[in-house]
Amino acid sequence: MLGYGFKVLGLDPIIGMAVPLNLGSIHVLKKVGMRFRGMSDCLGLNAERWELTREMYDSRNKGGAG
């Protein structure tokens, strides 16, 4: 899915948002390699903003996976 976002849709970076108490979502954002970038308003909620750049993605997937 992330590869599709970068390669087909041309997104860079890909952003993830999660409410701080949603530990499951935060775990997924970390697992895919996203990095915490701060707090931000998301639909009126104070949410964590996570980011994955194409460069970060490519360095994690050197074998061409994704």
| Total domain count, the chain | 1
Look up residue 15 and give its two tokens.
């952003």
State in Å, rounded, how far the first CA of the chain is from the last one.
Answer: 7
Among 59, 50, 3, 46, which Cα is nearest to 28's?
50
Q: pTM of the predicted model, to two decimals?
A: 0.85
Query: 20-52: per-residue pLDDT in tens?
Result: 999 999 999 999 999 999 999 999 999 999 999
Residue 35 belongs to some domain of the structure: yes
Q: Rounded to the nearest 5°, which phi and psi values hold at 29?
A: -60, -40
The parent domain of residue 14 ranges over 2-60
Residue 26 belongs to some domain of the structure: yes
Residue 65 belongs to some domain of the structure: no
CA distance 10 to 12: 7
Provide Rg for the chain, Cα atoms. 12
